[in-house]
């Protein structure tokens, strides 16, 4: 039951909430022991704040829940590959695992030759089409 | 009067406040038209939040002051070279200028071959010794 698809679907629901708010539709959840301890979606326009990416909010929220700044035994499910800022934050958090929906060749951290913390396992391509489609649809509507 | 040293001294004062709180002593200010519109110091321990670097807080605070997410005509003065996370945030902010006190060869963005926004001018080495000394002193006391 608790597959990567199961939790990525929740991240995608967060992305859909962002879409409805006219925000770039990216969402994520943080899971610890099969329990969702944080969920967030991009809010850069609503909050007028470039730092309000889904991942940044989820990291802060999960740490708050855990009462410690390191996200030990936690997995982040995010619909789009994290940017440089978010990859840096994930590195500092020492999170155990990051599961990515769709790649972001242009703005994602992987093509910048950045890595996360040495402890962090990275999985990519979970529900890739759905995660990619919602972003494409958003920008198509904007044009 | 409004030299780079003038504002870096204010950033250093923020670093000193962090030091007193037993936080890694890094501080910054954001200046617009020779007016300080945001000031912050590292609060990762106090807030239990790896994202609470001085620069992240200052970017959010300055955008809040300006009522827009882009830090046009703004300069960030920061005592230590920004990390990957903070360089990513500064890129998104399209800030006009970043003035760095001391370099951080290990964790700073420059040696990771990252760049800021194409609009952003970077100056480094302002009050380098003072900015570097306070961090060294902090870690020496920790050992």
Predicted confidence (pLDDT) per residue in B51-96, tens digit: 999 999 999 999 999 999 999 999 999 999 999 999 999 999 999 9
For residues A71, A8, A87 and B37, what is the CA-based torsion angle, rounded to 10 degrees?
Answer: -90
Work out the minimum CA distance from A58 to partner chain B, whole angstroms: 11
Report the predicted TM-score, pTM, of the whole model to 2 decimal places: 0.97
How far apart, in whole angstroms, are the C-alpha atoms of residue A5 and residue B20?
A: 46
The answer to whether B74 is annotated as binding is no
Q: Do residue B85 and residue A85 have CB atoms under 8 angstroms apart?
A: yes
At residue B143, the pLDDT reads: 84
pLDDT in tens, B106-118: 999 999 999 999 9
- Which of A15, A12, A78, A21 is CA-nearest to residue A45? A21
CA A126 to chain centre: 12
- Which of A122, A33, A28 is CA-nearest to residue A74? A33
Spatial neighbors of A21 by CB under 8 A, at least 6 apart, are A41, A43, A45, A46
Work out the minimum CA distance from A24 to partner chain B, whole angstroms: 14
ipTM confidence:
0.97
A105 catalytic residue (yes or no) = no
Looking at every residue in chain B, the average pLDDT score rounds to: 97
CB pairs under 8 A between A and B: 90
The answer to whether B86 is annotated as binding is yes
For residues B130, B134, B136 and B139, what is the CA-based torsion angle, rounded to 10 degrees?
Answer: 180
Chain B interface residues (partner A, CB cutoff 8 A): 44-45, 48-51, 56, 59-60, 63-64, 67-70, 83-89, 91-93, 112-114
């Amino acid at each position: 039951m608790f597959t990567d698809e199961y939790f990525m679907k929740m991240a995608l629901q967060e992305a859909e909430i962002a879409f409805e708010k006219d925000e770039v539709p990216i969402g994520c959840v943080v899971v610890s022991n099969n329990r969702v301890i944080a969920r967030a979606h991009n809010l850069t326009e609503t909050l007028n704040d470039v730092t309000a990416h889904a991942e940044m909010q989820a990291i802060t929220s999960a740490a708050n829940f855990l009462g410690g700044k390191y996200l030990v035994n936690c997995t982040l499910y995010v619909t789009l590959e994290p940017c440089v800022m978010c990859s840096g934050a994930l590195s500092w958090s020492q999170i155990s695992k990051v599961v990515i929906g769709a790649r972001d060749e242009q703005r994602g951290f992987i093509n910048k030759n950045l890595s996360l913390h040495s402890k962090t396992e990275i999985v990519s391509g979970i529900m890739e089409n759905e995660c990619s489609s919602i972003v494409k649809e958003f920008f198509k509507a904007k044009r």
